[in-house]
Amino acid sequence: MTLPTAPQDVAPATTRAAARPTTSPYRLSAVRLIRAEFLKLFTLRSTWWSLAITLLLTVGMAVLIGAASEGRIDPVTAAVLPIQFTMLLAGILGAIAVSGEYSTGMIRSTLTAEPRRGAVLASKSLAVAVTVFVATLVTFVLAAVLVAATTGAAIAWDDPEASVLPLLAAATSMAVFALLGVGFGFALRGGAAAIASTVGVLFVLPIVMQIVGAVATAWTWVGDLARFLPMNAAQSFILPGGAIDQGPAALTLAAWVAALLVAGWLVLRSRDA
Amino acid sequence: MPEYDLRPMPRIPRVRSVEGMITAEGLTKRYGDKTAVEGATFTVQTGKVTGFLGPNGAGKSTTMRMIVGLDAPTAGTVAIDGRPYRSFHAPLTEVGALLDAKAVHTGRSARDHLRVMAATHGIPRSRVDEVIELAGLTSVARKRAGKFSLGMGQRLGIASALLGDPHTLILDEPVNGLDPEGVRWVRGFVRALADEGRTVLLSSHLMSEMSLTADHVIVLGRGRVLADAPIDRLVQDWTQRGVTIASPRLSELAALLQGPEVTVTPSPDGSARVVGLGAPAIGDIAAAHGIALHALTETTGSLEDAYMALTADAVEYTSKELS
């Protein structure tokens, strides 16, 4: 391979500098920062892989569940059930959106472009949440439609509480899981630690508490507390009739996001990059 | 009749207002009980290329990271035009920084990396293409940065630093890994930017490179500022001027020159170096005694000599002699 040679003269830079007015039109803004964070997500293969696998898993499992139930299951319910697994993909996508910047050194470029660290955290969180929300909403709708088509069961589109709202809540929950990953990413920085913590809170903790609750029957508080874990709260939030009401479930999810993003922000603002 | 000069007044070149000056006051950084930078006070002037010299671990990189707000000082302040980096609304147009080659996501192409950086400031795509061309990255712009050689990574880092057409450039070891062509290119644009009135701070381990590029040097050793001076003054103050002589009757001449203030050191090649006497005095003495001179050359020290003299005590990682 022959290395390209940088031109010796620097005329473009020179003329630009001379012609430039004292107030440069280039400056930071919230919209630009958010656009840059979207661009970051879309220019990495890992994002597309995570979203594609989420789609395939969701559609595949939903259609399987529909077929196994011989059409007795509601297509929307079948579409949102795979969240139990795909939540990990959302959480990991959020975690590596941050830890990938630390492991590669990109974070130094990011923080020199925008030294106000809270703005970096906010714009990244927004970009990750919106991306995951939109991609998984499409995924869930597609899965529900395919289940309906393969089982012959109808989706109750005229009843939002049985169709539109659960699908929206499911996509929102996926965005919440991704944000937990973002929070862990900023708080822990390392990819392994951030992913392990995200998987731990989303997947391992519910199982542990379920086992403890089943064995230590005297400790009823374990079961009470387990209802407020992200995955369990999301289940209550998506479909009515869960362990807690939908309002408290939504608040619980919001509190998890707030807690982890604040933890991430506290680390980000005080530590050297 | 008086003569009037009817030619138009010569255009006075418009001088940029003082912009991009870096001032550090009592800058200190400690990691636990290890002190990386200790009370560093210096000014990096506009319109000059300032070299940042010092052995490994002297605190150069840490100081550079503090300038752009990545590391928070333990004590002291550093500002650009009196303002902390974090207060800028368009940091990329104020300061372009190449801190190390590893500040790019390995999974993103060079072009996408620059597009992301540009997007934060609303810098147009045309400028992204411009810096890609400027840095000689056109043929690899769509390649993922993780597959770049060290030299290519440096070029991408430099392209990134130039993106916002900044008043101040901070380049940590910019020629590291570059081919000779690339080294010349960096020297050229750094010079051109300083001549436009911008501020350039660059570190390098290559003394010869530094003496070719820099006007002014700040020498750090063990986190302290050891010297902050124009390059020629530093060389003058920290190296000995001497005269190299050669003569068929060298030992005879050496005996004549020797004095309390004068030392004559023989070299293996048959010449000798005289310190403490100027060339005219040596020539006169030789002539007075009828001794033929085959060489009489004034020698000044190099930046490297000055640097070695300055940092002799400050080298933390002195290389071990191989026995």
Answer with the residue of higher pLDDT: B303 or A174. Answer: A174
* CA distance readout (Å), A22 to A9, A13, A19: 24, 16, 9
DSSP string for A40-83 = HHHT-HHHHHHHHHHHHHHHHHHHHHHHHTTT-S-HHHHHHTTH
Instruction: Write the pLDDT tens digit of every residue in B238-284.
Output: 888 888 899 999 988 988 888 888 888 888 888 888 888 888 999 99
| Chains A–B, number of C-beta pairs less than 8 Å apart | 159
One-letter amino acid identity for A269?
R
Those of residues 181-220 in A touching chain B at CB distance below 8 A are none
Q: Under an 8 A CB cutoff, do B137 and A10 touch?
A: no
Residues in B closer than 8 angstroms to A7, CB to CB, are: 133-134, 136, 185
ipTM field = 0.88
The CA distance from B169 to the nearest CA of chain A, in Å, is: 13
Q: Are A225 and A209 in contact (CB under 8 A)?
A: yes
Task: Select from A75, A77, A81, A79 the least CA-distant residue to A154.
Answer: A75
Q: Under an 8 A CB cutoff, do B69 and A115 touch?
A: yes
Q: Under an 8 A CB cutoff, do A32 and B119 touch?
A: yes
Instruction: Write the pLDDT tens digit of every residue in A197-252.
Output: 999 999 999 999 988 888 888 888 888 889 999 999 999 999 988 889 999 999 99
Q: Under an 8 A CB cutoff, do B120 and A32 touch?
A: yes
List alpha helices for B239-278, DSSP H. Answer: 250-257
Bridge partners of residue A109, in order along the sequence: none
Q: Are A116 and A124 in contact (CB under 8 A)?
A: no
User: pLDDT-derived band of residue A182, with 50, 70 and 90 as boundaries?
Assistant: very high
| Rounded distance between C-alpha atoms, residue A180 and residue B134, angstroms | 41
CA A93 to chain centre: 6
Return the SS3 of B77.
strand
Q: Are B104 and B144 in contact (CB under 8 A)?
A: no
Instruction: Write the pLDDT tens digit of every residue in B14-67.
Output: 444 447 899 999 999 999 889 999 999 999 999 999 999 988 888 999 999 999
Those of residues 3-42 in A touching chain B at CB distance below 8 A are 3-10, 12-14, 16-18, 20, 24-29, 32-33, 35-36, 39-40
According to DSSP, the β-strands at B199-203 and B48-53 are: parallel
The pair of structure tokens assigned to A66 is: 């529909």
pLDDT score of B57: 81
Question: Where on the phi/psi map is residue B93: left (φ > 0), alpha (ψ -120 to 50), or beta?
Answer: alpha
The CA distance from A21 to the nearest CA of chain B, in Å, is: 11
User: pLDDT-derived band of residue B309, with 50, 70 and 90 as boundaries?
Assistant: confident
The CA distance from B130 to the nearest CA of chain A, in Å, is: 8
One-letter amino acid identity for A154?
A
